[in-house]
Chain A
Amino acid sequence: MDRLSTNQRAAILSFIILIAGLLIWEAAIPGQKAATELTEYERLTGGGAPKAGVPPPSQVMQKAWEQLSNPFYDAGPNDKGIGIQIAYSLYRVLTGYFLAALVAIPIGFLIGMSPVAYKALNPFIQVLRPISPLAWMPLALFIIQDSNASAIFVIFICSIWPMLINTAFGVAGVRSDWVNVARTHELGALKTALTVILPAAAPTIVTGMRISIGIAWLVIVAAEMLVGGTGIGYYVWNEWNNLDLTSVIFSILMIGVVGMALDAAFGRLQRAVAYAE
């Protein structure tokens, strides 16, 4: 018999872990007692009301099926399909993220090319970078006076640093030989930046972009819990207020799946710009 490839064996193991995990979860939820077994006293004191326990995976899967079979329904402000909620979150993340890229990559280029700019801007970066993005929220809400725009601003401010620092690092690390090739071919500054420095620094820049999108997706959930209205973060919190833990677990899983998809997209981009020296 042919031995299975590493990938096949890994897939089988993953599947076994999944099934085992779900079975343990299912078994760990104690079965609800049937109402008929309750004594009269228990019925009178309300002890017979089913406790709001953690739902078993079977219920979560049922919920997932319901939600995913109709992801874009809109039945009022507090009852929208999961697809609509995720779309809102993605819209905020991508808007904030691309605004950040527009700022971070050119400034990163500047910092990477000019030691003076690096030294001048470094103290600001070092102070601003460790600030939790949510700490900006009150200030953003006060200045912008719009909760949606504030959420986008928070994404912007948290996405900017990894891209800025990685771009600067990548640009500063471009081998002088390659820059010399550009110089001996009389390329202008812009052409050198686009045809030599950008492709040379691209793997580092895209790594920064990948880190940023991961952080942005982490932050959006918390930001939407604060600003409310729409989005996957708001959805989680709203379902918690409804004590609908099945939906909470389902939406947590969806956050993970979307985050994975975003990361995979940037992983693909990273492979596209990678080169071997």
Chain B
Amino acid sequence: MSNAFLSIENLTQRFPAGKGESLTVFENASFGIEKGEFVCILGHSGCGKSTIMNILAGLAEPTSGAVLMDGKEVSGPSLDRGVVFQNYSLLPWLSALKNVTFGVAARYPEWSRSKVVEHSTQYLAMVGLEGDTIHRKPAQLSGGMRQRVSIARAFANHPKLLLLDEPFGALDALTRGTIQDELLKIWSGTSQTVFMITHDIDEAILLADRILLMTNGPYARVAESVEITIPRPRKRDQIIDHPNYYAIRNHLVHFLATRSKELAGQQTGSDSNTPQTVRIDLVEETKGDESDDPRHGAHLRAVNE
């Protein structure tokens, strides 16, 4: 794990809770992310997903533990780690284009103005924003368009790691679907490393290479790392027919509905809470046994690495 592109080691976060007591949100969380990987993290509210995100972004400091990226310790925010916030965080006094050039100019200060504009326009076009739209202020754009601008701003900066904090949380289901497709398209073209928080299981399965599951807080931990064994490119209307889809989905639902509670506060015994890797692949399994019900044994195939 420590050789991974991004390595989170023994991360602990405690907040003061009055009278000298403290609330431990998570303790000794450790996991890694490979270069070019798309990783989603799922868990209930209060398990510290956003805190982990803020630590990765450099906007918050962990109580203890370290985050290593490319072997170097992360401290403070950096242009190497781009963030897409849930509430878009566009600067409302700038046009959509200027919001993107703002980031690009900060990333590439040596670029000429025209090059910055050209590059930004190109990335806005990738998320489907072209023409007059890019000269509008965020207040004149719909929620979906705003989030597109925010995604374009993040991708245009070519960060080594892209952090998405529930980027589609505030959008309606249809818009969300469109932008998920656009995200997939833009991501597959760049092979960007992405770490994303979401509450939406289907979204996670569609987008991720791997899903990290967190138990409930306090003393939350990353309990499992579920590989998504559905080949890319994925289409939302096709992956639901893939034999692995419901097996993986059921495993995730079971985890979130019951096991995240049962596992809450449990220690794994080791100092480092490395997640258990879960691989569910009924395609390989059913090659020999066609009669196997894919809905069975979903989480029986948990293997500890």
Q: What chain B residues lie within 8 Å of A275 (beta carbons)?
A: 92-93, 137, 139
Q: Which of B76-84, B176-184, B292-300 contacts A (4 or more CB under 8 A)?
A: B76-84
Q: Which of A7-15, A133-141, A195-203 contacts B (4 or more CB under 8 A)?
A: A195-203
Bound-state CA distance A195–B137 (Å) is 16
Nearest chain A residue, comparing its CB with the CB of B99: A181
Bound-state CA distance A186–B102 (Å) is 12
**B87 interface hit (Cβ, 8 Å):** yes
- Interface class of chain B by DSSP: loop
**A33 interface hit (Cβ, 8 Å):** no
Structural contact, B139 and A276, CB atoms closer than 8 A: yes
Structural contact, A277 and B139, CB atoms closer than 8 A: yes
Q: What chain B residues lie within 8 Å of A2 (beta carbons)?
A: none
Interface flags for A182-225 (1: CB within 8 Å of B; 0: not) read 01111100000001100110100000000000000000000000
Interface flags for A71-86 (1: CB within 8 Å of B; 0: not) read 0000000000000000
Q: What chain B residues lie within 8 Å of A185 (beta carbons)?
A: 79, 102-103, 106-107
Q: What chain A residues lie within 8 Å of B76 (beta carbons)?
A: 183
CB distance from B291 to the nearest CB of A (A): 52
Give B103-153 interface residues, CB cut-off 8 Å to A.
Answer: 103, 106-107, 137, 139-140
Nearest chain A residue, comparing its CB with the CB of B154: A184
Nearest chain A residue, comparing its CB with the CB of B103: A185
Give A153-182 interface residues, CB cut-off 8 Å to B.
Answer: 177-178, 180-181
Bound-state CA distance A179–B93 (Å) is 14
**B91 interface hit (Cβ, 8 Å):** yes
Structural contact, B91 and A186, CB atoms closer than 8 A: no
Nearest chain B residue, comparing its CB with the CB of A276: B139
CB distance from A213 to the nearest CB of B (A): 23
Bound-state CA distance A202–B106 (Å) is 22
Across the interface, A186 reaches (CB within 8 A) one of B77, B92, B140, namely B77
Q: What chain B residues lie within 8 Å of A199 (beta carbons)?
A: 91, 93
Residues of B in contact (CB 8 Å), total: 23
Give A252-277 interface residues, CB cut-off 8 Å to B.
Answer: 273, 275-277
**B57 interface hit (Cβ, 8 Å):** yes
Structural contact, A183 and B59, CB atoms closer than 8 A: yes
Q: What chain A residues lie within 8 Å of B191 (beta carbons)?
A: none
Q: What chain B residues lie within 8 Å of A177 (beta carbons)?
A: 85, 87, 89
Bound-state CA distance A196–B92 (Å) is 10
Across the interface, A196 reaches (CB within 8 A) one of B77, B81, B83, B91, namely B91
Q: What chain A residues lie within 8 Å of B59 (beta carbons)?
A: 180, 183-184
Q: What chain B residues lie within 8 Å of A187 (beta carbons)?
A: 106
Structural contact, B83 and A184, CB atoms closer than 8 A: yes
Nearest chain B residue, comparing its CB with the CB of A275: B93
A184-B92 contact, Cβ under 8 Å, with A276-B137, A277-B139 = no
Bound-state CA distance A199–B102 (Å) is 14
CB distance from A174 to the nearest CB of B (A): 11
Q: What chain B residues lie within 8 Å of A195 (beta carbons)?
A: 102
Across the interface, A184 reaches (CB within 8 A) one of B81, B91, B93, B139, namely B81
Q: What chain A residues lie within 8 Å of B102 (beta carbons)?
A: 185, 195
A186-B78 contact, Cβ under 8 Å, with A276-B137, A277-B139 = yes
Bound-state CA distance A211–B78 (Å) is 40
Nearest chain A residue, comparing its CB with the CB of B88: A177
Q: What chain A residues lie within 8 Å of B92 (beta carbons)?
A: 275-277
Q: What chain A residues lie within 8 Å of B91 (beta carbons)?
A: 178, 181, 196, 199-200
Bound-state CA distance A180–B165 (Å) is 13
Which residues of B pack against A, CB within 8 Å?
57-59, 76-79, 81-83, 85, 87, 89, 91-93, 102-103, 106-107, 137, 139-140
Top 4 A-B residue pairs of the complex, sorted by shortest distance between their CB atoms: A276-B139, A275-B93, A185-B106, A177-B89
Known: A186-B78, A277-B92. 11 other contacts (CB 8 A): A178-B89, A180-B83, A180-B85, A183-B58, A183-B77, A184-B57, A185-B103, A199-B91, A202-B93, A275-B139, A276-B92
